[in-house]
Amino acid sequence: MSTFNALPGFRDFFPDDLAVRTHIMRAWRDVARRYGFQEYDGPPLEPLELYIEKSGPEIVQQLYNFRDKGDREITLRPEMTPTLARMAGARAAGLRKPIKWFAVPQLFRYERAQRGRLREHFQLNFDIIGEADVSADAELVAAAVDILRTLGLTHEDFVARVSDRRLLRALLLDAGVPEDQLVLAYNIVDKLERETPEAIAARLTGEAGVTAEAAAAVLAVFQHTEFAAVRQAYGGRPGIAAELERMERFFGFLDAMGLGGYVRFDLGVVRGLAYYTGIVFELFDTRGELRAICGGGRYDDLLKRIAGTDLPALGFGMGDVVLTELLRDRGLLPDTKPAFDYYVAGAGTEQRGALLALAHSLRDAGHSVEYSFAEAGRNRHFKNASALNARRVAWLGPDEVAAGEALVRDTGSGEERRIPLAELARP
Ligand code: HAM
């Protein structure tokens, strides 16, 4: 008796589970192809240094890090973006811009395991490098939306919430937050959904040294839930108008693609990772039952800091865990039962040679084939074929073998035909 279990937060993928994962990854790769992203990968172990400071304290606390036998400080990768920045930065000079790459790494974070959060997950990463214009931000959000549409989800199931750190910065500076307290202020307002406005105001004055008046002005900013309302309230202020104009172009691009109904302006999207510099976004289920399905944004300084290559960049990560939960909740998981094109069987041992020859030539022709040597009657084999989800049965009784034919039965309709073996195995 085995008493071993997978570690907490790690998954065993039984065939049914793996079929779901494959279904999701097929949609990821399909949209990557349609949008012209090329696949890359990097090492699952990276130097610890790569994440310190670059990713920010939230991720650094969650690292699976250790010292290897060569006395190096290393860690399992918790995210892909620093690896991408290193790789793309190293080759960028020789590559056509914008560089559009995608990857499907397995990532590791020592998090408290809960619904939608595990200690390993597979994460699709789409990134665009070398394009500063907001059209690239729109392209990326469109790709994320199209992945979920490909999986059968609609605007009733999910929404992309979009903000811009530059706009938020301009609004907070305008409200009176000191420049050197901005990052702390972002982290505080990031909790607006979970804490009361009073608690947020108290933290802004207490921890971020913001005046009570400025804290009230910050909370007033977040009272606006519509982009038009923010534009009306702050559009006339110096330093804010240009930021609003950029967002307006972004929404205009998505409207033009017919995807406007999937995106919503939401200043409350801040994102935990430290490297984002511009438009940031997260995709959520509309019922608000799950954690973020996907998150990303623009990180224009990261390649310079990691690889010394000054190139604007943006991307997103979409994990398989929350996505699987959402598809299950909406009844959109695929049928994972294996299916066969043919089930080949014969009455007795004399037909084995013919049976193996037919099964193999059918497989050579590209069909999926299961066969049985069991000495049983036709009806028993027909039942087996249905249980195995085979679309057709090729039956080789003594008469059929003598005539060089098979009796082919369509499992669904029950229709039967005698077909010459040579014809049957034709591709
Ligand atoms: P992130 O927001 O940390 O971003 O993760 C992106 C997505 O990965 C999340 O929305 C969630 O679906 C999934 N995810 C993250 N952590 C876990 C976990 N512990 N268990 C299950 N799923 C998880 C990033 O990682 C950025 N590097 C994305 C990016 C790419 N930004 C630019 N390019």
Q: What is the DSSP string of 34-55?
A: HHTPEE----SEEEGGGTTTTT
Residue 9 counted as domain residue: no
Same domain, 171 and 265: yes
Number of domains in the chain: 2
Same domain, 247 and 180: yes
Give the pLDDT confidence of 288-306 residue by residue, as tens digits. 999 999 999 999 999 999 9
Which DSSP letter does residue 261 get? G
Which of 302, 329, 356 terminates a domain? The answer is 329
Residue 262 counted as domain residue: yes
Are 172 and 239 in contact by the 8 Å Cβ rule? The answer is: no
Q: What is the pTM of this model?
A: 0.93
194 vs 280, higher pLDDT: 280
Same domain, 233 and 315: yes
Looking at residue 2, its pLDDT comes to 66
What residues line ligand 1, using a CB cutoff of 6 Å?
A: 79-81, 109, 111, 117-118, 121, 123, 125, 127, 273, 292-296, 315-319, 321-322
The closest residue, in CA terms, to atom 28 on ligand 1 is 317
Please report the beta strands in 248-378, taking only residues with DSSP state E, as ranges in sequence order: 263-265, 279-285, 294-298, 313-319, 340-346, 369-372
Distances in Å between the Cα of 164 and the Cα atoms of 135, 150, 296, 343 are 14, 27, 11, 57
Compute the radius of gyration of the chain from its Cα atoms: 28
The closest residue, in CA terms, to atom 25 on ligand 1 is 79
In a mutational test of the pocket of ligand 1, which residue from 24, 63, 79 has the highest number of ligand atoms less than 8 Å from its CB? 79
Looking at residue 268, its pLDDT comes to 86
Please report the beta strands in 210-350, taking only residues with DSSP state E, as ranges in sequence order: 263-265, 279-285, 294-298, 313-319, 340-346
Work out which ligand 1 atom sits closest to the CA atom of 271.
2
Looking at residue 192, its pLDDT comes to 80
**Residue 319 Cα to ligand 1 middle (Å):** 6
Residue 314 counted as domain residue: yes
Residue 103 counted as domain residue: yes
Same domain, 146 and 222: yes
Q: Is the pLDDT of residue 119 over 70?
A: yes
Give the CA count within 13 Å in the CB-facing half-sphere of 94: 3
Give the pLDDT confidence of 64-96 residue by residue, as tens digits. 999 999 999 999 999 999 999 999 999 999 999
Residue 297 counted as domain residue: yes
Q: Is the pLDDT of residue 59 over 80?
A: no
**Residue 22 Cα to ligand 1 middle (Å):** 19
**Residue 266 Cα to ligand 1 middle (Å):** 19
**Residue 184 Cα to ligand 1 middle (Å):** 21
Give the pLDDT confidence of 188-226 residue by residue, as tens digits. 888 787 889 899 999 999 988 899 999 999 999 988 889
Q: Is the pLDDT of residue 131 over 80?
A: yes
What is the arithmetic mean of pLDDT over 258-278? 90
Q: Is the pLDDT of residue 9 over 90?
A: yes
φ, ψ of residue 203 to 5 degrees: the values are: -70, -35
Q: Is the pLDDT of residue 150 over 80?
A: yes
Same domain, 321 and 417: no
Per-residue confidence at 187, pLDDT binned at 50, 70, 90?
confident
135 vs 60, higher pLDDT: 135
**Residue 317 Cα to ligand 1 middle (Å):** 5
Q: Is the pLDDT of residue 43 over 70?
A: yes
Tell me the residue range of the domain where 173 lies. Answer: 15-329
Give the pLDDT confidence of 303-343 residue by residue, as tens digits. 999 999 999 999 999 999 999 999 999 999 999 888 999 99
Give the pLDDT confidence of 344-399 residue by residue, as tens digits. 999 888 889 999 999 999 999 999 999 998 888 899 999 999 999 999 999 999 99
**Residue 383 Cα to ligand 1 middle (Å):** 47
Looking at residue 301, its pLDDT comes to 95
Looking at residue 156, its pLDDT comes to 97
Assign residue 386 the CATH number of its domain: 3.40.50.800
The closest residue, in CA terms, to atom 9 on ligand 1 is 294
Same domain, 296 and 348: no
The closest residue, in CA terms, to atom 2 on ligand 1 is 295
φ, ψ of residue 100 to 5 degrees: the values are: -120, 105
Looking at residue 57, its pLDDT comes to 67
The closest residue, in CA terms, to atom 20 on ligand 1 is 117
Distances in Å between the Cα of 372 and the Cα atoms of 340, 389, 393, 421 are 13, 14, 11, 18
**Residue 123 Cα to ligand 1 middle (Å):** 7
Same domain, 100 and 229: yes
Which of 295, 329, 363 terminates a domain? The answer is 329
Whole-number mean pLDDT of the chain? 93
In a mutational test of the pocket of ligand 1, which residue from 100, 120, 123 has the highest number of ligand atoms less than 8 Å from its CB? 123
How many whole angstroms from its chain centre is CA 117?
14
Looking at residue 1, its pLDDT comes to 60
Same domain, 316 and 296: yes
Which of 291, 310, 329 terminates a domain? The answer is 329
Work out which ligand 1 atom sits closest to the CA atom of 125.
30
